[in-house]
Amino acid sequence: MLIQFNFKNFKSFKNDVSLDLSATRITEHNDHIVSISNDKLLKVAAIYGANASGKSNIFEAFRYMSYYVSESFKFGGENSNKKKIESAHEKVTPFLFNSKSKNSETTFEVFFIDGSDTKEKSYQYGFSLNKEEVLEEWLFYKTKSSREYKTIFYRKGKDIEFFGILKRSADNIKVALEKETLIVSLGAKLKITVLRLVRDWFNNNEIVSYGYPEENLFRSYMLPKDFVTNVDVQNKIIEYFSTFDNSIKGFSVEKVVDDNNKENRRYRIAAHHKMNNPNEIGTIPLNEESGGTLKMFSLYPSIQEVINNGGVLFVDELNSKLHPLLVRNIIMLFLDSTINTHNAQLIFTTHDIWQLSNDLLRRDEIWFVEKDDYGISLLYSLADFTDDNGSKIRKDENYTKNYLTGKYGAIPKLKLFDIFKEE
């Protein structure tokens, strides 16, 4: 489980940011808390804020960290593919509206618990880099019975200290490591167990953004695992759809033959609908279903993956094209310990104020993003927020009303559309 995600100097976030899923000492919805190792953690975080406040950049920061962990073993080096590799290397983007920060390093860090280990070890992993190289990298761990973290490795510049890795493996890393490459990324490729564990933790998470039309299109063509060949998988999705739309009764799958590329695996999916005559079935192409149905279809593989393996699902704009009751159903899926038995976590951005309610969420599950007059985004939770009198927010307040009236900040500063007035 994710305990905490920290980053600094990434896109609109200039200063230190911490998205903390540790449960605070508040009394509402105690059933939302997961006790694991020596931590009490939350399974849901909802992030609110105005348009262009920087909400999506939290997801972009985690996506970039995951990308660099997974892919940086390919970067740099003297080989024939160097130019190709460099062109594929996505450079980090710091906060650009400050002369110091735009030339400073960007830092990412996570604290997480490895759920696959019965000993419930906690890990602290992070790195700092600029557009040219990795400047610093660290990995620490602690057992359930430990109070302090112990070092597995620490890297600063060209100096590397290894404490929890065999000497032969450490020597192999030192020989092969490039300045653009993370030790975790290279070590996972070299099949070093603890480093592969960290890499796999990132790979087990899902990051979905509905703010980009290209990704929406791409995801609409993604099929759940074994959907084409396994009728049981198709029936499972019909059952999934029945929770919000019981008109879909089945699917048909037809392979599309590409004469120019016989290896190209494309399929034409049709949805079967019930008709007025109970003995008849109507069929329409899946891509002609409503936008909400297609979104739920595209969400299914990611939800299934994290529910099965206990990962983290990041969804940017969860409420887009979905009814508020359906959004609430998704949230409650993650909060239901009888279904979410592996303690998967859901972190999402939304403008859906119907979910901003004390009957659904704890104060430490509600987060806000606000951008100041200098273009700097700030992240804070409702549990930490204090009003103008210095008082904490009470659990019995009307969160929706207070948010819309500006008590918590993180709302748009609106003016009338006077530009449309006739002269």
Per-residue pLDDT at 248: 86
State mean pLDDT over 4-19.
98
Q: What is the DSSP string of 169-213?
A: HHHHHHHH--TT--HHHHHHHTT-HHHHHHHHHHHTSEEEESS-H
Per-residue pLDDT at 390: 86
Percent of the residues in the chain that have a pLDDT greater than 90, as a whole number? 66
Q: What is the pLDDT of residues 154-188, one digit of tens each?
A: 999 999 999 989 999 999 999 999 999 999 999 99
What contacts 24+ positions apart, CB below 8 Å, involve 276-284? 281/249, 281/250, 283/252
| Beta-bridge partner residues of 2 | 112
State mean pLDDT over 221-244.
85
Q: Which of 76-85, 142-151, 262-271, 273-282 shows the lowest mean pLDDT across its residues?
A: 76-85
Six token digits for residue 23: 């449960």
> Nearest 5°: phi and psi at 120?
55, 55
Six token digits for residue 281: 């079935």
What 3-state class would DSSP assign to 106?
strand
Domains identified in the chain and CATH numbers: 1-205+311-412 (3.40.50), 223-299 (no CATH)
Per-residue pLDDT at 146: 87
State mean pLDDT over 185-212.
93
Q: What is the DSSP string of 250-294?
A: EEEEEEEP-TT-TT--EEEEEEEEE-SSTT-EEEEEGGGS-HHHH
Per-residue pLDDT at 136: 98
Residue 53: which pLDDT band, with cuts at 50, 70 and 90? very high
Per-residue pLDDT at 83: 47
Per-residue pLDDT at 277: 76
Q: How many of the other CB atoms lie within 10 Å of CB of 274? A: 14
State mean pLDDT over 244-259.
82
Q: How many of the other CB atoms lie within 10 Å of CB of 197? A: 17
Q: Which of 33-47, 74-88, 386-400 shows the lowest mean pLDDT across its residues?
A: 74-88
Residue 80: which pLDDT band, with cuts at 50, 70 and 90? very low
pLDDT at residue 333 greater than cutoff 50: yes
Six token digits for residue 389: 């009198």
- 213 or 192, which is more confident: 192
Continuous segment of H or E residues that includes residue 335: helix 324-335
The most confident of 141-150, 362-371, 406-415, by mean pLDDT? 362-371
Q: Which of 101-115, 237-251, 304-318 shows the lowest mean pLDDT across its residues?
A: 237-251
Scored b (16 or more CB within 10 A) or e, 288-324 reads ebeeebbbbbbbbbbbbbbbebbbbbbbbbbbbebee
CA distances from 295 to 221, 283, 322, 341 (A): 11, 19, 8, 25
The rounded distance, in Å, linking the Cα atoms of 51 and 330 is 23
pLDDT averaged over every residue in the chain: 90
26 backbone φψ class: left, alpha, beta (φ>0; ψ -120 to 50): beta
State mean pLDDT over 66-71.
97
Percent of the residues in the chain that have a pLDDT greater than 70, as a whole number? 91
Per-residue pLDDT at 84: 46
Residue 219: which pLDDT band, with cuts at 50, 70 and 90? low
CA atoms within 13 A on the CB side of 39: 25
State mean pLDDT over 47-59.
95
Per-residue pLDDT at 78: 61
Per-residue pLDDT at 286: 84
CB 29 within 8 A of CB 392: no
Per-residue pLDDT at 174: 95
pLDDT at residue 306 greater than cutoff 90: yes
The most confident of 74-88, 90-104, 261-275, 277-291, by mean pLDDT? 90-104
Per-residue pLDDT at 151: 97
Six token digits for residue 360: 């659904």
Compute the CA torsion angle 375, 376, 382, 383 (nearest 10 deg). -160
State mean pLDDT over 3-12.
98
Per-residue pLDDT at 162: 96
Six token digits for residue 318: 């969860």
Model-level pTM? 0.91
